[in-house]
Structure formats: structure tokens, C-alpha cells
Amino acid sequence: MKLKVKDLDIATGGILIAILNHKDASKLDIFSGDRVAVKFKNRKINCIVDISVSDKMIPEGRIGLFEEVLAQLKIREGNIIDVVDIGKPKSITHIRKKLYGHRLNYQEFYEIVKDITDDYLTDIEKTYFVSSCFINGLSDQEVVDLTRAMVDTGKKINFNGIILDKHCVGGVPGNRTTMIVTPIIAAAGFIMPKTSSRAITSPAGTADTMECLANVSLSEKEIKHVIKKSNACIVHGGAINLAPADDKIILVEHPLAIDAEGQLIASVMAKKYSVSANHVLIDIPMGKSTKSQNEQEAKHLKRKFEFIGKKLNMDVKVIITDGSQPIGKGIGPLLEAKDVMGVLSNDPNAPEDLKEKSLQLAGLLLKMSGKYKNGYKKAKEILESGQALKKMNEIISLQGKKKEVKLAKHSYDIKAKKSGVIKEINNRTIAKIARIAGAPQDKAAGLYLYKKVGDKVKKDEILFKIYSNSESRLKLAKEIYQNFDCFIF
Amino acid sequence: MKLKVKDLDIATGGILIAILNHKDASKLDIFSGDRVAVKFKNRKINCIVDISVSDKMIPEGRIGLFEEVLAQLKIREGNIIDVVDIGKPKSITHIRKKLYGHRLNYQEFYEIVKDITDDYLTDIEKTYFVSSCFINGLSDQEVVDLTRAMVDTGKKINFNGIILDKHCVGGVPGNRTTMIVTPIIAAAGFIMPKTSSRAITSPAGTADTMECLANVSLSEKEIKHVIKKSNACIVHGGAINLAPADDKIILVEHPLAIDAEGQLIASVMAKKYSVSANHVLIDIPMGKSTKSQNEQEAKHLKRKFEFIGKKLNMDVKVIITDGSQPIGKGIGPLLEAKDVMGVLSNDPNAPEDLKEKSLQLAGLLLKMSGKYKNGYKKAKEILESGQALKKMNEIISLQGKKKEVKLAKHSYDIKAKKSGVIKEINNRTIAKIARIAGAPQDKAAGLYLYKKVGDKVKKDEILFKIYSNSESRLKLAKEIYQNFDCFIF
């Protein structure tokens, strides 16, 4: 069917949408969510149909296209394009199979993950995939196949020899150990191609934090160069397309806050596998407001990770850590970067818990390399001798040093309403306050903790300081604190 | 947050959408799919957020609204509205509960179904609900509670005494027995408040077919009047808001062609319950291209329907019928209406199979009323004496007789490619051809079967004739036939 292009001047990212008038949709016998090929000259792209029930913006004979479609087809308002119904992709059949409780093989996962990567499945279809994997569960073989499919639909970076890597399952604000562990490992002579993510629902990801110090958007070639010179890097994985389906799956999990175990493991392992890691340490923080709320859950996840690692020929070790409160003092990219540099510089005011946890993780990784019996001792030696700081500066300079981020213009002190001993700090509320203050987009926004669990506090003593470059955000962040008390005495 | 309205001039029906610039969304810490209240003066409605990643159409400080939102808030381009994050509705918690395999009670189903009815859940959230009910299944009590929730979120029409009703589970083109059974029952003196649906994926629903003869969009008051005068009606259920959540759930099932048993039963029973039916006959056609493909499936569904009926204090009987080919000769609203009127007029050319099946169903319903031992004999007597035709004309006149629909302008004969005996007719392909020809929107479009299963056919004899008011659609319909042979010899 020939239709005239209407430029909608909207770009929402993600799936490619074509809006048809309800009469034209009926002529083609297609429904909202069905697929059409939109053709112009020798170019063609597949879109998902949305149907306009009003004739105002999209009258009969017109097709409303978003900016992404116009750009890819190199067309504009008024061009005549051809629209053809192309039916459903094969991946829908596989999703249906999983929904009916059957197991999927590598090829089937590959086709689903490829279509997700290419933004070729609708929210409804992706949700059926996520929910059927979640409810029916994934067998160990399925997790392995899903991991491989995620790797094979993205970029792979090849390294030889012992390649160390780490990952934290998340949920603990301020937990920026990666930026301390990586230079220690690199200084010990091992390769650690660390790719990290940006924050999705947290106030800072390692990529956001590292970006206060250095450029993190590197090409594959640049990453290889940095690693050749310094043994390691700390870059944003999203910039080099490692297992790109993962982020798109997470977006569908977000509305119901689903934590699908199989998908979590596949997601983590795919990113490690994509950079050729063969010795991987997984940190599972356990606490009331983290993913693993009790020992049973944490241990179950540990066993799964280790088992899947074995199936993928990776040496995977899991450490269960304390997730009952934030790690370090700063929450938010700049404030966390300051904590990290404090530890690396052996600053006596640097947070002791961040240092201790980083040494523990680095020690375990050094032990996994097979070269050190007492990894912890070696890690401590590297950190305290200044070798780790030197290595970090080398990595920063190779990735491209950034101009220093300025302190936030506005701040506000939150004071204790009563005296007592702090029993608990709610990670979720702390994260929410930092986000409302502007983190991670406002790199200087966040909060700085003066008190942690176990500290004795007098009434009116400062508990933490909120930082923001926006006065209105600072006000909102204060309100969050009033509504959800996050320090439990 | 104060934002300036941008009128997007789009209406897609369904959920209310507000498009925010990515920077404003970040300030509010909200994601695509989150909910906000949009306030103007003392009016307020809740919308679901979509995020524009480009600044072209929706720059910072603007909010893009669809026509439905503008109309409800009585605002226009340039007005300043207030946007507030309102968090997730309680129904999301219940959906999560079902996703995790727990059972839901009446109150929980009610909150979910109410939010679906009010277009307050996103596609992702509705899909989690549908898939978790599908995979985890619904207990009998859950089906009863879901049915009640569907009834209680829509309109109820109260009648007293014996109220008969029927329903066909569908999948068989041409199966327009309702329009013959209803006047027979009414002529026998029983009340039958028949509400029917329009076609969603089929070439004609009973509402579309009846609409060739009479007005089907009646108010509750009008329906009561028609029934008071004639004992029965044949109207479009959608027009009076009976169990309105049902159609919205079906839209989410469509992309994966899911047939969730619990939801199917709840949907059917809710519509019967909403019109006070207490004796209900369910027709389950069994065949290769219907919902129940074999006897085991059909019998399982039969048991479920009868059990749930009992729990709802309804006398439910189920009949398993032959679904191996279309019923009657015409497929498409007008052609099916002609078959119906032919049977009612005792026209010797009227399709015998449609007559026979209608008599069987009417007979069973008369027996269920408790007033007739041999219902079939009574039904046949009413039909053949012309009482049913008289009653039908009375119903048509009371609902508002329509001007006769004209025959389609174009037609095309499909001829047999070889000689032989017809073994099978594919219902799905027949339905597709009729839809592509224009049914049900083009009421005269569809096809007329000259041959049925068991008939001997010579090469080049006419198998069926395609009708359409559009030459291009006729051409497309012919192509479908070339690609998918639907007559198996």
C-alpha cells in the first residue's frame, strides 16, 4: 500500500514505530503491534504498527513516522513510501514455546535475543519472554545458551592468557570497589578489561563515577591500546555494544521490579564472556535492601553462578558481603570518585570500609590468578606502597583525563532528630535521595554520610549532607528524607 | 513540576499518555511507563509517561499530550499544567503476587480489572498479568473471583425469572446460530437478552451480522424495552459496557495468540452473568482450526465451564459440535445475514447445516428451561411454522430496522484446480480471505461457499465466490487463496 509520509518530529528511542490511520490498517488487516516493512527506493526497514483512531494528525493515506525511521530511510514529510505486512518474526514462536513451558535451545534464544537487540519486538512480546523465563524458570543449560546468545548478538573483545574480572550484583550505594580493585590487579601484572555500566535506578554506576576522572566511552581499538600499555581499563560497556540485549530486557523488568535469576546470571556472565574473562569474582551483597535479602538466597545464587561459570569454562568465585548499609561515605558520581581517590592515595580520612572491602576482593582475585597464596597481603602492599594510585593515574591518562568536576553549588545538612546508636541505614532511601538531588546526571549531586551503622549520635549532630546544583532538587531531596526516614536508631 | 502543553494531535485510544522531555523526566526521577498526575485548575487525570529522547517536538519544559488527555482536562496547546509523580497503583503489587505463583482473591482481581478497565495499566503490566495467569494457571475459585471482578467493573442488567443465553467459543466462520436460536427461544416465551461481540480477528461477529438488519447499539433502557415487547434482543455488548476489561485483555493476548483457559471462561461467564442469565448453553466447536483441536481438550473445557457455572449459581450446559469446516454458505456480515434470513424463512436453498445446528442448540435451551422434554421438536415446530421469522422481524423492528445493505460491487469465482472429493476446509484461511476482501468493515465483503466437505467436485467447478467493494482488496484476497490452499481434496 502506498502512503504519504507525515514527519511526527518525535524520537522515543527503542523500537521503530509507524502510525497508520485505522482505515488503512483495516485494509491491510493489521493490528496495533503487527509488523510492516516500510520501503522507499531500494531502502527498507521493518516497523511496528501503532494505529491512530483519530483522523486529525494521521488521515487516511498518510503514515506517521518517528525521527529514527525517517533518518534510516533518508525520507521526509511528503515522500510516498510503500507499506507491506510482513507477519510475525520466528522469535515469537520461540517465546510462545517458552510460555507453554518448553525448553529453548541456543538457536531459539539467539533468534529472540537478536530481535530484542534489533528493537524488533514490542513491549508486549518482550514481556512475554521475560515473564515466561521468570515463571517457568531457566534450566542451567538454558542459562548457558542464553548467555552465549547474548554474547553472540554483541561485540566480543579477544585477549589471551589470564584475564581477571569482577562484578557486583548491586543494591549497595557507594560500593565503588571496582575503581580500587582494578588498578591493584593491573599493578600486580594481570590483565583486567573492566567494562562497567551507567546507573539505571541507582545514583551512580562505575561508568558514571569513573567519568568524573577520565573518558569512559572508548572504542574497541582504544580499549586494546589502554590495556596494552597499562594492563587494565575502566570503561563504559554500553559504548562498545557488549551483550546489548541486556539493557533492553532490564527496561521490561523495571515496571514490576522483577529480578529474574536466570536472566541476571546470563547478563553478568555474557558481559564477562564478551571480554574474554576467564577468572571472575562475583560480589553478592546481602542485606535487607539488596537483591539477596538472606543467607539462603545469597548462597543459592552463589551456587548458580559457580555452576554456570564452570559450564562456560570460566573460573567463577562468589563472595557474599555485608550489604546492610552503604559502602564509603560519598553517594553520587563525584563524591564516590573522591572516596576512591582517597583510598588510592592512602588518605587517613578515606573511608576504611571501602578500602577494606576492595583489598578483600583484590586479594581473592590475585589468589584466583594462581600466582599468590596470600592475595590480600599482596593487594595491601600494592595499595599502601602507592603503586595502585600510580596505575590508576596511568589508566586515567591513557583513557583521557577529564577536567575536574566542580563541587555542587548547594548543600543541606540533615541532622539527627534524637540521640542514639545507628542500627541500620536504608540503602533504597539513601539512593532515592541522591537521585532526587540529581545524581547521576548531575555528577556533583548526591550525599555524604558522616555517620554509619554502629556510630553513636547526639541530637542535632549532622547525619549526612545533601549536595545538588539545583535548589529545587535539593528541596525535593529534603522532602524525601522527611517522608522516609533512612536512619534507624 | 510546571510544564507547558504541546498538543500532539494524535489519539490512539486506550491508555492516556504524556510525553516528557528526557531532562524533565530525569528531574522527576521517573521512567518510561511510570505514572504522573497531570493537573489543571481543579481537574486532574493520571497518565502514563513516555519519554522523548529528542528535543525537537518536546523540548525541556514542554509536555506532549494526546487528544484524549486534552479533551478530559479541557486544556489546549500552551496551557501550563502541573505534573506530579504518583507512584505505582496497588494493582501492580497484586500482579507481582500472581507472577510469583501466589493465588489472588476477589479484592485483588477487582483492583487489577478496575485499573485495566480504566486504561491505567501499561501494555507491559497487562502482559505480566495475562502471562502469569496463563502460566501459573487460575484455580476454580480464582476464575470465579475474576469473573465477579469483571462483572463488578462493568454494567449489570437485571431481569427476573428464567433467563436463557448461549455462547459459542468460536473459531468457525459463518456459525451464525445465535440469530436463529434467539427468535426461536423468544417465540417459545422465554427471555433471552443476547449481547454479542463484533469481530476482532474473524470476518464477522454476530453484532456485525445483525447490524446488516437492525441497529445493534442500544442503551440499557432501549434493551429493556425491546425485551419487554419481544422477550429477546440481539445487540452489541460493547455498546453497554458489560465486563469492559475483557476486550482490553484480549488485545494483549492477540500478539502471541494466547488462549488462556481461565480468562476465556471468566470472559464468557462475566458477560452472561452481567445480563442475569441463569441457564446458559455453551457451544464448543471441535476441529483442526478451532480452539479445541481434539476431544480431550474440548471435554476438559466442557467440565471447567460446567463447574464454574455451578459456583456462580448458573445452570451451564456445554455441547461439543463439529468445527471441521464453516457453517452455512456465506462468510462476512451480509452474506451470513442472508443465510440466517434464509433459514428463518424456510427457504429451500438456505444452508441445511446452519438450520440443523441452530435447531439442536435451541432445542437444548428449551429443554434447559425445564418446560419441554423434547426441545428439538418444539424448536423445529417454531421455526418451520414461521413463528421464529415473525419474532425476528419483531426484534428487528423494535431495535430499529436498517436500510438493506447492497451486494458487493465486485466478485470473483474461485474454481477447483482438479476433480475429487473435498476432505477438509481450512477455517483460518477462509476467514483470512474474507477479511482481506474487506469483512467485517465492508459489510458486503466476504465469500460464498458453493461446496462443502464431502462434496464431489469436477475440475473448474466453482468452489466459492469472493465478494468485495474494493477491486484491490479482491485482488489481494485472490492472492491469499493462491498462497494458502484452503480446500483439501
Minimal-distance CA residue of chain B relative to A59: B10
What pLDDT score was predicted for residue B118? 87
Residues above pLDDT 90, as percent of chain B: 72
| DSSP single-letter state for residue A157 | -
pLDDT band at A9 (very low <50, low <70, confident <90, very high): confident
Whether B10 has a pLDDT exceeding 80, the answer reads no
pLDDT of A101 strictly over 90: yes
Residue B95 to chain A, least CA–CA distance (Å)? 8
B87 has pLDDT over 90: no
pLDDT at position B329 is: 97
Minimum-distance CB partner of B11 among A53, A127, A132: A53
Q: How far is CA A222 from CA A135, A198, A219, A314, A399, in A?
A: 42, 19, 5, 26, 8
Condensed to tens digits (0 to 9), the pLDDT of residues B241-258 reads 888 898 889 889 988 888
Identify which of B348, B351, B360 has the alpha carbon closest to the alpha carbon of residue B330.
Answer: B351
Q: Check pLDDT > 90 for residue A327.
A: yes
* A173 touches A432 (CB < 8 A): no
pLDDT at residue B450 is higher than 90: yes
Which carries the bigger pLDDT value, residue A239 or residue A147?
A147
Contact flag A257-B12 (C-beta cutoff 8 Å): no
pLDDT value, residue A68: 84
- Please tell me the predicted confidence (pLDDT) of residue A228: 96
pLDDT reported for residue A129: 97
A34 is an active site residue: no
Q: Is the pLDDT assigned to residue A14 strictly greater than 80?
A: no
Q: Evaluate if residue A213 carries a pLDDT over 80.
A: yes
User: What was the pLDDT predicted at B310?
Assistant: 94
Residues of chain A with pLDDT > 90: what percent?
A: 72
The residues pairing with A40 across neighbouring beta strands, listed in sequence order, are A43
How much is the pLDDT for A55?
82
CB contacts under 8 A, A 396-455 vs B, are: 432, 435-436, 438, 441
Q: Do A53 and B252 touch (CB under 8 A)?
A: no
Query: What pLDDT is attached to residue B258?
Result: 83
Say yes or no to pLDDT of A393 above 80: yes
Stretch among A15-24, A375-384, A457-466, B326-335 having the lowest mean pLDDT: A15-24
Asked if pLDDT for residue A209 goes beyond 90, the answer is yes
- In this predicted structure, what is the pLDDT of residue A466? 96
Q: Helix, strand, or coil here: B416?
A: coil
Does A316 have pLDDT greater than 90?
yes
Give CA separation, B231 vs B74, B192, B389, in Å: 43, 6, 14
Under DSSP, the state recorded for A200 is: S
Which residues on B lie below 8 Å from A33 (Cβ)?
Answer: 254-255
Which are the contacts of A52, defined by CB distance < 8 A and separation ≥ 6?
Answer: A19, A20, A21, A22, A58, A64, B10, B11, B12
* pLDDT > 90? residue B476: no
Helices (H), B86-159: 90-99, 106-117, 123-136, 140-152
- Confidence band for B131, pLDDT divided at 50, 70 and 90: very high
CA dist A47 to A158, A275, A281, B251, B254, Å?
34, 32, 41, 19, 18
Q: Is B251 on the interface with A (CB under 8 A)?
A: yes
pLDDT tier for residue A457 given thresholds of 50, 70 and 90: very high
Residue B195 · residue B275 · CB < 8 Å: yes
Question: Rounded CA gap, B270 and B143, in Å?
Answer: 10
Identify from A12, A83, A249 which residue to disrupt to test chain B contact, counting B C-beta atoms within 10 A and taking the largest count.
Answer: A12
A481: closest CA among A322, A324, A331, A321?
A331
Please tell me the distance from the alpha carbon of residue A331 to that of residue A172, in angstroms, as a whole number. 10
C-beta of residue A58 within 8 angstroms of C-beta of residue A7: no
Judge whether A488 is closer than 8 Å to chain B, CB to CB.
no
d(C-alpha B307, C-alpha B302), whole Å:
9
pLDDT at A54: 78
Segment A196-216 shows an average pLDDT of: 92
Give the count of Cβ contacts less than 8 A between chain A and B. 140
Asked if residue B397 has pLDDT above 90, the reply is yes
Q: What is the pTM of this model?
A: 0.87
Say how far residue B428 (Cα) sits from the centre of its chain: 17
**pLDDT for residue A147 is more than 90:** yes
**Cell output for B438:** 474487506
- A381 φ, ψ (degrees, to nearest 5): -60, -45
> In this model, does residue A482 exceed pLDDT 80?
no
Q: How many CB atoms lie within 10 A of CB B80?
A: 12
Which chain A residues in 21-50 lie under 8 Å from chain B, judged by CB atoms?
A: 26-27, 29, 31-33, 50
Q: Is B485's pLDDT higher than 80?
A: no
Residue A251 has pLDDT above 90, yes or no: no
Average pLDDT over chain A reads 92
Q: What is the pLDDT of residues A403-421, one digit of tens each?
A: 999 999 999 999 998 899 9
Q: What are phi and psi of A447, to 5 degrees?
A: -150, 160
Express as a percent the part of chain B with pLDDT over 70.
99
pLDDT above 90 for A141: yes
Question: Which of helix, strand or coil describes residue A208?
Answer: helix
User: Residues B274-324: pLDDT tens digits?
Assistant: 999 999 999 999 988 787 888 898 999 999 999 999 999 999 999 999 998
Judging by DSSP bridges, how do beta strands B315-322 and B279-286 pair with one another?
parallel
Query: B-chain residues within 8 Å CB-CB of A54?
Result: 10-11, 67
List the beta bridge partners of residue A462: A415
Pairing of strands B192-196, B232-236: parallel
**Contact yes or no for A9 and B57 at CB 8 A:** yes
Give the best residue of A48, A69, A256, A474 to mutate against chain B (max B CB count within 10 A).
A256
Neighbours of A406 (CB within 10 A): 10
Q: Residue A79: what pLDDT? A: 94
Give per-residue pLDDT as tens, A258-270: 878 899 999 999 9
CA A118 to CA A248: how far, in whole Å?
Answer: 10
B135 and chain A in contact, CB less than 8 A: yes
Q: Strand, helix or coil at A71?
A: helix
Residue among B243, B233, B229, B190 at smallest CA distance from B371: B190
Could you tell me if A85 lies within 8 Å of chain B, comparing CB atoms? no
Please report the pLDDT score of residue A378 as a whole number: 97
A280's CB contacts (< 8 A; 6+ apart) are: A164, A165, A166, A167, A269, A272, A309, A314, A315, A316, A317
Q: What is the pLDDT of residues B37-67, one digit of tens each?
A: 999 998 998 898 988 877 878 899 999 998 8
CA–CA distance, A288 with A172 (Å, rounded to integer):
11
Which pLDDT band, with edges at 50, 70 and 90, does B27 fall under?
A: confident
- Chain-centre distance for alpha carbon A133: 20
Cα separation, B142 vs B154, in Å, equals 19
Which chain A residue is nearest to residue B22, measuring alpha carbons? A12
The answer to whether B252 contacts chain A (CB < 8 Å) is: yes
**pLDDT of res. B294:** 87
Q: Which of B13, B29, B54 is closest, CB to CB, to A436?
A: B29
pLDDT(A465) > 90:
yes
Q: What is the pLDDT of residues B149-205, one digit of tens each?
A: 999 999 999 999 999 999 999 789 999 999 999 999 999 999 999 999 888 778 999
If you search the block for the grid coordinates 588498578, which residue do you land on? A183
Mean pLDDT of chain B: 92
pLDDT band at B259 (very low <50, low <70, confident <90, very high): confident
What three-state secondary structure class fits A31?
coil
**pLDDT at residue B291, as a whole number:** 79
Q: Which of B259, B347, B460, B485 is catalytic?
A: B259
Place of cell 536466570: A262
Mean pLDDT of the A86-102 span: 93
Q: At what angle do helices A261-274 and A295-311 cross, to 10 degrees?
A: 40
For the beta carbon of residue A98, count every other beta carbon within 10 angstroms.
23
Which among B52, B124, B258 has the least Cβ separation from residue A123?
Answer: B124
The verdict on a CB contact (< 8 Å) between B10 and A64 is yes
